[in-house]
A and B are shown apart, each in its own frame.
Chain A
Amino acid sequence: MLEFIISKYNFWLYVILMMIGLYAMLAKRNLVKKLIGMNIFQTAIILFYVSIGVKKGSVHVPIIVDSHGHGAQLIHAADYLNPLPHVLMLTAIVVSIATTGVALAVLILIYRRYQTLNEDEIIHIRQARQKAGV
């Protein structure tokens, strides 16, 4: 059992990182803290996918030698890293920066309206305003 945990240590640490992000999204009251938690959660998932493509004893990216002329050699896929998860995760990183930007814009609008970023206070002010009929 202990050997099983140690041999796959990176996956366990990714899960711990993911749970840190989930805790921040659920339990923290400040909206910026929730956004930081979302960023941590996203990077933990991206980390997991990139680590799938790593193979033991292979550190090269696939580069074809002599691909245009004669003497092209056969490429063994087992000798190289798997580049497919890298390319997919590039898209995920760019999408994550877009969601962060939109979320920060919404946060600034919320702050202008309620003068606070605390979730409890925002709900309180909203209820008070609804009762007053504003």
Chain B
Amino acid sequence: MNLNATLFLQLAVFLILGGFTMKFVWPPIVKALDERAKKIADGLAAAEKAKSDLALADKRAIEELRSAREKAGEIRANAERQAGEKVDEARTEAARIIAQAREAAQAEAGLAAQQARDALRDQVALLAVAGAEKILRREINPQVHADLLANLKQELQ
């Protein structure tokens, strides 16, 4: 337990080592620590932001999906309505054409029947005259009996 000049040298070494650390050791380490702390803080903030962005995007996607579904439904309804209209149109058109065809056919048939009836009537008159000839065993003068025949014809109509 003695004191000697080692004390002063140790004192000098003490201050010199402290000065060295102050100049070359402390600043870079503290700088690195501060920078890393900032980086971590930035990273955490970015993660937070990404999370909220994701939630937002999710919400938007759901909205988009719903609106797309609505639009699709609308389009389908429209298409169905249009198709129905088309079918109805076609049906009315078809009914019209059928009715027209039926009318035409009826008219034709009526005409044909009229003609047939007319022809038949002529022949019936002839047959009646012939029958009457045979019945009366004598010839009837068509000119004389024209009125009679005409009457008969009228009755047959």
Q: Do A and B bind each other?
A: no
